[in-house]
Amino acid sequence: MNSTTSLPPAAADRDDLTIAEKQEKKNVGPVPPMEDYVDGGWEGWLTVLGGWCSQITSIGQGNAFGVYEDFYKENYLSNESSSTIAWIGSVQLAMLFGMGLIAGPLFDKGHFRILMISSSALYILCNFLLSITKPHQFYQIFLSQGIGMGLAMGLTYAPTFAVIGHHFQGRRRAVAMGLASTGSSIGGIIHPIMLNNLINRGGDAFGTGGTSSTFGRAIRINAGMNAALLVLAAVLMREKKGVVAGGAGRGKVKPNIGGFLTEPKYLLVSLGCVLGSFGFFFPAVYVQLFSTTKGISPTFSFYTLSILNAGSTFGRILPGLLADRFGSLNILLPATYGLGATTLGYLGVKSLAADAVVTAIFGFFSGGFISLMVPTVASLAKHPGEIGARIGITSAFCAISCLTGPPINGALLTGKFLWNRPVIFSGVCALSGGTSLLVARLWRTTRGTGGSPSPREKSVEDFEVQETFEGATMPKLGADGTSYADLK
């Protein structure tokens, strides 16, 4: 291959020199040879593995809150309402997403290692503190599980995906992030089975086998596993040289955080993620209690969360592969509509078989929704130095639904278990999120001209602006996810 790679046919076959002229005018130089840029590499895939371990302990743990909700309501916090108990899980998840507002910019400044070590230490401490809380002491559980563990999760969530985004800036980004996010699904399978069986020693349902002593023992065993995973994640994950530390290698380009909030497409995507999250968190928190109150076998009810997360595992892999082919937003859109439709499907659940089918399908769409939110937001970045900030801000927006969703559902549910009300609320919110993403998709194809950009306009848009990465000049990472790796 020559030292200078020619433009692809889409641009080179034109009968004018628009692109060349724009390159010369901007003094950005020629496109570097393909072998100068590696999408991922050995360190990149080790970072994906580390991110996978981290996700087991963060959203994977959050996905198991239905176990805690059931046990707390029936035994440990039986003096509290479902809505009050739900605040523990909602605050934990709100902290997980909301702390991205702080963790994202800190990551962009090069503090990834500090974030990983400090948050892991805090998580391990609070996880073990949960094991020594006392029955009917809401504040103890709220502080350790809701605030402490939630804060620790939030300090790693956005940076975990942002560092993967630095290693993968081409066609493999969505699948790499999707593979890392399967850790939350695997955690959502492992944690409920482990906790249900360790807490419920000698009984068939919570309230008959679970005691304060079995709860403490179960949490300590679970905390030990989480500690090992966090240590492994800290060892495996590495920053991409020349990308972090305030934009080193890119002329120290700083993210324009204020500018994000004036981009209609970014705001529409963020709104879609927030509304879609209302639909996601209803089954994640209440599906086990839903099965129990419907008279379905307690043995089966114990495994509903695991069924949901098993479906979510496939939902995080297949849509990721499709997203690398067709674009993250194009796949996130139907996944969000599917999420809302299957949430409304719980209105018709009357039997064990129906519960299993709806839960598995919901798991698939929820996996696609959660795994594609981050790469979709990352694809809107104009350069790698603002990936962390964009992910962090959108995660902070999603904290709204995390914080208010479960308590709203609990209030709608009431002590009479009126399931239709929270189901309809969550389903309609998710469908509204899909509509917001649809508007964002249409905005992309109709902006400025009232229609889709012509092939020539698309070529100019994709190749006219370039950036420097580790000493090489390459096309910028644009709003549609175009990167130098796309020249393949």
Q: DSSP assignment of 345-414, as one string?
A: GGGG--SHHHHHHHHHHHHHHHHHHHHHHHHHHHTT-SSGGGHHHHHHHHHHHHHHHHHHHHHHHHHHHT
Both 77 and 191 in one domain: the answer is yes
Cα distance between residue 126 and residue 147, in whole Å: 9
Quick check: 428 pLDDT over 50?
Answer: yes
pTM for the model: 0.70
Both 272 and 222 in one domain: the answer is no
CATH of the domain at 115: 1.20.1250.20
Domain count for the chain: 2
Overall average pLDDT of the 411-419 stretch: 87
DSSP for residue 34: G
Q: Name the residue with tokens 């030292």.
A: 3
Structure-token pair, residue 153: 């999760």
CB 275, CB 430: distance < 8 Å: yes
Structure-token pair, residue 260: 């994000």
16 domain residue, yes or no:
no
Mean pLDDT for the chain overall: 79
One-letter identity of residue 6: S
**Beta-bridge mates of residue 475:** 466
In this prediction, residue 253 carries a pLDDT of 58
Which of 184, 216, 244 is the endpoint of a domain? 244
Both 333 and 239 in one domain: the answer is no
Residue 39 to residues 50, 197, 385, Cα–Cα distance (Å): 17, 42, 17
One-letter identity of residue 157: Y
Both 237 and 265 in one domain: the answer is no
Which of 216, 244, 272 is the endpoint of a domain? 244
CB 288, CB 67: distance < 8 Å: yes
Quick check: 346 pLDDT over 90?
Answer: yes
C-beta atoms surrounding 79 within 10 Å: 9
Both 283 and 368 in one domain: the answer is yes
Both 282 and 209 in one domain: the answer is no
Which of 260 and 153 is assigned the larger pLDDT? 153
Cα distance between residue 312 and residue 360, in whole Å: 8
Both 306 and 203 in one domain: the answer is no
Both 155 and 213 in one domain: the answer is yes
Quick check: 339 pLDDT over 50?
Answer: yes
91 domain residue, yes or no:
yes
Highest mean pLDDT among 45-49, 303-307, 314-318, 384-388: 45-49
DSSP per-residue string spanning 3-26: SSPPPPHHHHTSSS-HHHHHHHHH
435 domain residue, yes or no:
yes
Cα distance between residue 30 and residue 262, in whole Å: 32
Both 47 and 182 in one domain: the answer is yes
Which of 464 and 411 is assigned the larger pLDDT? 411
CB 174, CB 323: distance < 8 Å: yes
250 domain residue, yes or no:
no
Closest Cα to residue 96, out of 133, 135, 143, 151? 151
pLDDT in tens, 218-251: 999 999 999 999 999 999 998 877 654 444 444 4
Both 86 and 234 in one domain: the answer is yes
In this prediction, residue 189 carries a pLDDT of 87
DSSP per-residue string spanning 423-478: HHHHHHHHHHHHHHHHHHHHHHHHTTTSSPPPHHHHHHHHHS-EEEETTEEEE---
DSSP for residue 486: G
pLDDT in tens, 169-183: 767 777 888 889 889
Question: Of all helices (H) and strands (E), which one includes residue 472?
Answer: strand 472-475
- Structural domain including 66 reads 39-244
Quick check: 394 pLDDT over 50?
Answer: yes
Cα distance between residue 235 and residue 117, in whole Å: 10
Q: Give φ, ψ of 276 to 5 degrees.
A: -60, -30
407 domain residue, yes or no:
yes
One-letter identity of residue 277: S
Both 129 and 50 in one domain: the answer is yes
Residue 426 makes CB contacts below 8 A (sequence gap 6+) with 278, 279, 281, 282, 343, 405, 409
pLDDT in tens, 114-145: 999 999 999 999 999 999 999 999 999 999 99
Which of 212, 244, 276 is the endpoint of a domain? 244
Quick check: 449 pLDDT over 50?
Answer: no
Both 167 and 231 in one domain: the answer is yes
pLDDT in tens, 181-225: 889 889 988 998 899 888 886 544 444 567 888 999 999 999 999
20 domain residue, yes or no:
no
322 domain residue, yes or no:
yes
Closest Cα to residue 47, out of 203, 179, 140? 179
Quote the crossing angle between the two packed helices 149-167 and 100-108, to the nearest 10°: 40
Report angle CA 29, 35, 37 to the nearest 5 degrees.
Answer: 70
pLDDT in tens, 258-308: 777 889 999 999 999 999 998 887 887 788 888 888 888 777 877 888 899
Structure-token pair, residue 139: 């504040």
354 domain residue, yes or no:
yes
User: Can you say how many angstroms the Cα of residue 239 is from the centroid of all Cα atoms in its chain?
Assistant: 20
In this prediction, residue 168 carries a pLDDT of 83
